[in-house]
Chain A
């Protein structure tokens, strides 16, 4: 059973058409939720960390929010250069370990057409 689920798997938008990506999690002991952007053939690039329900963070056209069971990545007036796969990951505190563990979702592939 997936502990981190991202939806939709793929999203096509027209330039300027705002929308949201969803990341829901079923884990307990959440210590942080991360959003990354991944361009084709490249490594994930860090965007945001959210630590507690109600927290929001913004960067240019992106805004990330967190509730007790899910996070949203809102994209306002997207541009073609926002096309990428957006990954969500949760950080858990594992018993007896100080490092913890990152669990990644499968990602949402966003395409923005001009």
Chain B
């Protein structure tokens, strides 16, 4: 099992550009999540999904979009990149909802200039 994989590892965007951060898990988990981690701050939930075709907003969804067409994939879309979106993005998954552990990918470091 590769677990949770994310691509790319690093990316530099110019203001106004768009991109998609890819996330794939091979653990057959129903639940998937996107977090961002800023220096000196805790992880913040952007969006989550409880299964294919079902997504919902987390704490900081503005400026992002997601889709979930398969159990394995949960891409995060940035439409008009802004400097405030400079961050490290982590995708995670869990088998069930509730107080159960989430498994994290290695992260994507994004810089918007």
Chain A interfacial positions (CB closer than 8 Å to B): 4, 31-32, 34, 36, 41-46, 49, 51, 87, 89, 91, 98-107
Residues of A close to B43: CB separation below 8 A: 44, 87, 89, 102, 104
B111 interface hit (Cβ, 8 Å): no
What are 27 A-to-B residue pairs whose CB atoms are below 8 Å? A4-B42, A31-B99, A32-B99, A34-B99, A36-B104, A41-B106, A41-B107, A42-B107, A43-B4, A43-B105, A44-B43, A45-B104, A49-B99, A49-B100, A91-B98, A99-B50, A99-B97, A99-B98, A100-B97, A100-B98, A100-B99, A101-B45, A101-B58, A101-B59, A102-B43, A102-B45, A105-B42
List the 9 shortest-distance A-B pairs measured between CB atoms, nearest first: A32-B99, A43-B104, A104-B42, A91-B99, A31-B99, A104-B43, A46-B101, A99-B97, A44-B104
Mask of B42-61 contacts with A, CB within 8 angstroms, 1/0: 11110010100000101100
Secondary structure class of chain A's binding surface, majority of residues? strand
Residues of A close to B50: CB separation below 8 A: 98-99
Mask of B63-78 contacts with A, CB within 8 angstroms, 1/0: 0000000000000000
Query: How many B residues have CB within 8 A of the partner chain?
Result: 26
Residues of B close to A91: CB separation below 8 A: 98-99
| Complex Cα gap A42–B88 (Å) | 10
| Complex Cα gap A43–B25 (Å) | 14
